[in-house]
Structure 1
Amino acid sequence: MTRADEPFPPPGVDLGHPNVARIYDYYLGGTTNWEIDRQFADRILQAYPIIRPIAYANRMFLHRVVRHLVKRGIRQFVDIGSGVPTMGHAHEVAEDLAPGEVKVVYVDYEPVAVAHSRRVLSKHGDPRRHTVIHADMRDPQRLWSRVAETGIIDLTQPVAVLLIAVLHIQQPPAPGSGATEDLGPCLVKAYRDLLAPGSYLALSHVTDDGVPPGHLEMLADLKRWYNASSSPVVFRNHEQISGFFGDFTLLEPGVTWTPLWHPEEASDGDQTASLPSPNESLLLAGVARK
């Protein structure tokens, strides 16, 4: 049974399977999701209600990253795998600190995320500084060309690339390519190479390394459920997640749990994530400079 206000899906939306972007939107309290997404998410939340504060903690990490980098002088952001507009997008956070200055290009492959981002930006954005494009992160050169074509971002100048809660979703090779491994590490290297000097890379990633022992069963269940019904996931350890930054210089405090990354950048309007300990956030995160 669907809600009375169920949104009409844009062309290309697969409603036969729950989608990670729409599931995440539901965790965050958003409404850009369908019954199939809610049924999947409710099953998880019933078994593991801590998933919702984990999602909040990750979203608040995004907010703090944007504030920190704006204070460091960054005025251009490319948010890859930006998802649906829930609990404050990057441009909204940046606008509080540098009104009229920050430019943001959102990128997603999920049609719902793109359609709703366009709707939000049409009401609460500036078309000269904010846009969204539909692109596949598995084609870095094409995606980067699409960003350039918007005319919003000057790719010869420093840019902050955001890969927030993206890389633990497996990035499979294109059909017929002959490759079998997850493309995540080589894709991130390609984006690092594309960035101008002085740019930043920010990411967060689910891990099973260093989490409370009681959470390992939960992670195993989540992996099994997502692999069977939505998009396959991959968990990496601290060393592997740190490796995504290559030879970039990590900002203090390095790769750490999402609640521990510059907590002083929180604002009064941020959602509080009620987690008993930082490692119960299950996501490691960091930011590094080229």
Structure 2
Amino acid sequence: MTDEAGTVDLTRPSAARVYDYYLGGAHNFAVDREMAERAIGMWPDLPLIMQANRAFLRRAVRFCADAGVRQFLDLGSGIPTVGNVHEIAQDAAPGARVVYVDNDPIATAYSENILRGNQDTAALQADLRKPEQVLDSPQVRKLLNFDEPIAVMMVAVLHFVPDNDDPAAVIARYREAMAPGSFLVLSHASQDGQPGQADSHQNLYNRTATPMTMRSKSQVAELLTGFDLVEPGVVFLPQWRPVAPEDVDEHPERFSGLAAVGRRS
């Protein structure tokens, strides 16, 4: 988080840096590690859930690339880790263009550093809840053409958008800008599967600068209004188009995050 002058507040944990810690990254601070360890103490499966979320992102990016998409807008992208969107997309389709967007200045700074020299990528510090700020930015206008299909990524970020910010309206604005054949890639924290642990996890985040709003399968499906759901629809993270059947845990509900991809027709 930052204050009005843009100074990084290192007294409060950042969702992006906590997520980085869950994934085994090094771009986090003591306050973030303390928050993450408290959360893991209450819910030991959290690192596995975050890894499953990251694996979903990789599968979804490859799906979109295989469908012919050559440009990606990653909203709430967080801090770069191995297997990022541009690595997957440009491996599948050399020349694919990617813009990363996050409101955390540290996440943006690390993104700019790791992307240096890659002319088909850019990083933007902006709030996804302000679509015009994102869509009209020089970085987006330079790299992305919304007259052509695009994949808009909202992976593990919408649960940080409370109901009073109207996430459905936010998504609708991006949808209006997307050409037919575009995709929305979405994953979302949910109480479905493990309500007791999920509730305590939500309560922990609600005492931080990044409160969390978990949503049910039906609520997540409503966020995809206006898109055609790609099979298998809204499912637990490992169940979305696994590479192999054995990749799906026999209890997929323990991965209480939900995943879905919608196509703009």
- The TM-score with structure 2 as length reference comes to 0.92
Is 1:239 aligned to 2:239, yes or no? no
Q: CA offsets per residue over residues 27-79 of structure 1, 9 Å max, x none?
A: 00001100000011111222322100000000000000011111110000000
- 1:186 paired residue among 150, 162, 169: 169
- When Rg is computed on C-alpha atoms for both structures, the one with the higher figure is 1
For 1:126, the equivalent position in structure 2 comes to 118
Pair 1:157–1:275, CA change in 2 (3 A)? same
Aligned 1:1-290 pairs, distance under 5 A? 12-99=7-94, 101-122=95-116, 126-127=118-119, 129-146=120-137, 150-171=141-162, 181-209=164-192, 211=193, 215-264=194-243, 277-290=251-264
Q: CA offsets per residue over residues 162-195 of structure 1, 9 Å max, x none?
A: 00001111347xxxxxxxx132121111111111
- For structure 1, the residue ranges without an aligned partner over 5 or more in a row are 1-10, 173-180, 267-271
| Structure 1 residue ranges (4+ consecutive) displaced by more than 4 angstroms after TM superposition | 147-150, 272-276
The DSSP-based 3-state class of the residue aligned with 1:133 is: strand
Identity of aligned residues (%): 38
Say if 1:147 and 1:153, in contact at 8 Å, map to a contact too. Answer: no
Q: Counterparts of 2:201 and 2:162 in 1: how far apart (Å)?
A: 18
The DSSP-based 3-state class of the residue aligned with 2:197 is: helix
Count how many residue pairs are aligned between Structure 1 and Structure 2: 259
| Structure 1 residue 142: Cα displacement | 1.9
Say if 1:56 and 1:273, in contact at 8 Å, map to a contact too. Answer: no
Q: Counterparts of 1:157 and 1:171 in 2: how far apart (Å)?
A: 31
- The TM-score with structure 1 as length reference comes to 0.84
The DSSP-based 3-state class of the residue aligned with 1:105 is: strand
| Structure 1 residue 147: Cα displacement | 5.8
- For structure 2, the residue ranges without an aligned partner over 5 or more in a row are 1-5
Say if 1:188 and 1:244, in contact at 8 Å, map to a contact too. Answer: yes
Taking only aligned residues, the RMSD between alpha carbons, in angstroms, comes to: 2.0
Say if 1:53 and 1:274, in contact at 8 Å, map to a contact too. Answer: no
Q: Counterparts of 2:225 and 2:258 in 1: how far apart (Å)?
A: 16
